[in-house]
Structure 1
Amino acid sequence: MDIADIATREFVEVDGQKRLSKVRSIFEHENPKGVIVTDDGDYQGVITQQQLLQSHIEDDMKAAAMVKSAPKIERTADLRNVARMLIEGDTKVAPVFEGDDLWGIITADAILDAVLENLDVLTVDQIFTEDLVTVTEDTHIGRAINLLRENGVSRLPVVNENGRLTGMLTTHDIVDVVVRNMDKPTQGDRAGDIERVLDLPVYDVMANPVTTVDLDDTVREAVELMFEMDYSGLVVTPEYDDSLPAGILTKTDVLRALTYTEEEHMDVQITNIDLLDTITRDEIRRSIEAVVEKYQRMSVQHAHVRFHKHKEKLRGTPLIQCQIRLRTTHGQVAGSGEGYGAESAFRVALDRLERNVIEMKGMESDEQYRGQLLRKLNEL
């Protein structure tokens, strides 16, 4: 399936010098799938409605201040390659070009909707993310923000002292309460208002009840539920207890499954690949393979490496966070770390990954990867 079959022309092009108030007005009155930002006609990036909702940048700032980099997609590109490009670009929207001309945009939702009928061959337990980051009801918002940042996630399940699911906290929830508090008439200064919000317990902000999906549900059922509820992710629970969180399933997890290949060497997917400096994709793959080969009983089905840049720098080199996640015949295993530059961060994360691999050595997997999704999607 070519991307031209599902790409849309429902977008608006704006110059980077336009005020954000103009962009907000566009989303409110024209309801486009995305806004493409240009500079004197040259493509610069995208702005999504979610970005605006989750941002507190003043309306008098220019659109260029919020622009997000997104890969340029050829109109005849293959669906699986486009899914990979969206993941590696860490974006849900990208421009579609026909030659040098901007033709339209493609969204993650459009891709998932196009393959929805084929997703019933895969179950949630085959692709969900197990390494769950949670908070308790009395965790302060400030601490929750740090956890979101440190782990590169946009949602945190809230649990009680028994580990039972009681709510969900998302970046949107936090931004919403910050904006509401900042808009209130107050005698205090803005810094004081922010500190009061950061000291709020998660309980005051979290959403409840929580929509969940079972491990045994099909991925099609999960995606349909995400579309229905307008969610980007769902808490995964075992069938016998919907208050016991086992992990998270996001639209990105599903997109990632669409890119699985049956190549001779390990398939490594990299998010924010543009942050690679002194290390290449091939070096990353070989390094992970070297760790895996030490433990022959473990077969890796898929590897995902995510880089995230922080504002902090050392002699011009940015602080990078790296997360490595492997899906193996022994379950999921991950490692993360920070360093100045992508290579430094990757080495720290790789060391942590190897320690975690050692800990799970000897464990037998109850489920084997069946490859049903690949066979079905190859028919598209």
Structure 2
Amino acid sequence: MDVSEIVDAEFDMFDESTPVSKLRGAFEESNRKALLITSDGDFEGIVTRRDVLSSHQKSNRKARSLVRPVPTVDRHEDLREATRLMIGGDTRVLPVLSGDDLVGVVRADDILEHVQSYLSVLSAADVSTSEVVSVEPETALGKALSTFRTERIEHLPVVSDENGDEVVGIVSLYDVLEFVTRELQRPTGGDADGDVGASKGGFGAREGESTDLLELPVRNVMTETVGTATRDETLEDVLDTMLEHGGSSSVVLDDDGALDGIVTKTDLLESLTWTDEGRLPVQVFGADLMTELTRDELAERIEEVAGKYRDMRVLEAKVHLHEHDETLRGVPLLLARVRLYTDKGTFMASGEGYGDRHAVSLALNSVERQILEGKTYGRSKKSPGGEELEKMYGWWLSE
């Protein structure tokens, strides 16, 4: 199945010279998570809501100061490959090109809704993060922001110990960034000691008082209506709950109603990229040049490198081998280019060596250095069995 059925020809596009203030206004007027940026009419990249909210750029700065490149696809791209590109490129929107022309976008939500019925073969327990980081209602917003950054997460369940560790809300990175940005831009009005409201709220007269804002408790920003799931609930139903609440996560509760995990839309997307191969799927281009390494050895070496990032999961690996004219004692000089698509981003490096083992080893050493530079906490996930995958992906193979 390809993405042609879910390409959206309506999208928001701005030139790279657009002021950041105008981008901020565009986000405030819509629920878009990303805006497409062009340069002289050609697609350049995207600017995300998070980029704008977390930016300290002056409002008269231009979009080019925040733009970042993302993968592109054509309208006949395989749906699973498109999902891999989203995860590897850390984006929830993929521009669709026809030649050099931008003709539409594919969004993560559209992919999930399109395949929702096929998610019924997996449960929340299969994909949920079990080691959940949470905060209390009185935790300061500054502390929450620090937790988002250090844990590399975007959702924090809010738990109250007054009622036996009851989940009383959830706060997202967007909630905090939008609240702080809005209040710093508001010149007057409001009562600093007043109530914020049932779910979200704000204070006036706080322009420039960022320190005071960050000392406010998360209870003033959290969403109290929380989507919940049980461990054995299907992912189809979990997605239903997310869509019903307009959220991008659901907390998993145990039999006693206590916090037991969290499932995000990113988790659902990642489940679409799983394969039933016992070993990491590795695509080798120039496989005829492999005279020393076997595919199993190559996969084992890649998994060993990925393991330096704790629980980072490699979704797919691609290795390109190219032979040069130079030889040493009859062994050709090879260029090895390794690209790893992971749930923490994409890593790519090259290495030149005599023979495939030497060249690949040098390339993987470079990848390993990249991984160690971005070290973060992993996430606990359970991969499904072959029978579940056959049910889940039968439609991909048959269409």
The TM-score with structure 2 as length reference comes to 0.68
Q: Residues 114-145 of structure 1: CA distance to partner in whole angstroms, max 9, x if unpaired?
A: 10121112111111121211112222211111
Q: C-alpha distance in 1, partners of 2:58/2:228?
A: 35
What is the percent sequence identity of the aligned residues?
Answer: 30
Q: Residues 52-85 of structure 1: CA distance to partner in whole angstroms, max 9, x if unpaired?
A: 5666755433122332432111221100010000
Q: Does 1:203 align with 2:206?
A: no
Equivalent of 2:167, from 146, 165, 174?
165
Q: Does 1:344 align with 2:372?
A: yes
**Structure 1 SS opposite 2:45:** strand
> Which protein shows a greater Rg?
2
- Alignment map for 1:113-192 (pairs within 5 Å): 113-161=113-161, 162-182=164-184, 183-185=186-188
- Alignment map for 1:272-287 (pairs within 5 Å): 284-287=302-305
Q: C-alpha distance in 2, partners of 1:171/1:220?
A: 25
Whether contact under 8 Å (1:211, 1:235) holds in the other structure is yes
The equivalent of 2:229 in structure 1 is: 213
Whether contact under 8 Å (1:2, 1:78) holds in the other structure is yes
Matched to 1:35, the amino acid is L
Whether contact under 8 Å (1:233, 1:249) holds in the other structure is yes
Q: Provide the aligned length of Structure 1 versus Structure 2.
A: 316
Between 73-82 and 46-55, the greater mean CA deviation after superposition: 46-55
Q: C-alpha distance in 2, partners of 1:180/1:30?
A: 15
Q: Residues 30-52 of structure 1: CA distance to partner in whole angstroms, max 9, x if unpaired?
A: 88785321112332212345655
The equivalent of 2:267 in structure 1 is: 253
Q: C-alpha distance in 2, partners of 1:15/1:302?
A: 34
Whether contact under 8 Å (2:156, 2:170) holds in the other structure is yes
Q: C-alpha distance in 2, partners of 1:52/1:174?
A: 13
Q: Residues 242-268 of structure 1: CA distance to partner in whole angstroms, max 9, x if unpaired?
A: 3x1111111110110000012352259
The equivalent of 1:369 in structure 2 is: 385
Matched to 1:211, the amino acid is G
Q: C-alpha distance in 1, partners of 2:31/2:133?
A: 34
The equivalent of 2:12 in structure 1 is: 12
**Structure 2 SS opposite 1:378:** helix
The equivalent of 2:364 in structure 1 is: none
RMSD: 3.8
Q: C-alpha distance in 2, partners of 1:180/1:103?
A: 33
Matched to 2:370, the amino acid is A
Deviation at 1:226, TM superposition (A): 1.3
Q: 1:10 to 1:373 in 2, by over 3 A?
A: farther
The equivalent of 1:227 in structure 2 is: 243
Q: 1:251 to 1:213 in 2, by over 3 A?
A: same
Q: 1:87 to 1:166 in 2, by over 3 A?
A: same
**Structure 1 SS opposite 2:259:** coil
**Structure 2 SS opposite 1:17:** coil
> Which stretches in structure 2 are left out of the alignment for 5+ residues?
190-203, 283-297, 317-341, 348-367
Matched to 1:143, the amino acid is K
Q: C-alpha distance in 1, partners of 2:53/2:228?
A: 24
Q: C-alpha distance in 2, partners of 1:231/1:181?
A: 23
The equivalent of 1:321 in structure 2 is: none
Matched to 1:44, the amino acid is E
The equivalent of 1:316 in structure 2 is: none
Q: 1:49 to 1:204 in 2, by over 3 A?
A: closer
Q: C-alpha distance in 2, partners of 1:25/1:301?
A: 37
The equivalent of 1:82 in structure 2 is: 82
Q: C-alpha distance in 2, partners of 1:8/1:230?
A: 20
**Structure 1 SS opposite 2:112:** helix
Q: Does 1:262 align with 2:276?
A: yes
**Structure 2 SS opposite 1:159:** strand
Between 12-21 and 138-147, the greater mean CA deviation after superposition: 12-21
Q: C-alpha distance in 2, partners of 1:291/1:35?
A: 31
**Structure 1 SS opposite 2:113:** helix
Deviation at 1:222, TM superposition (A): 1.1
Q: C-alpha distance in 1, partners of 2:26/2:384?
A: 48
The equivalent of 1:306 in structure 2 is: 344
The TM-score with structure 1 as length reference comes to 0.71
**Structure 1 SS opposite 2:90:** coil
Matched to 1:306, the amino acid is K
The equivalent of 1:241 in structure 2 is: 256
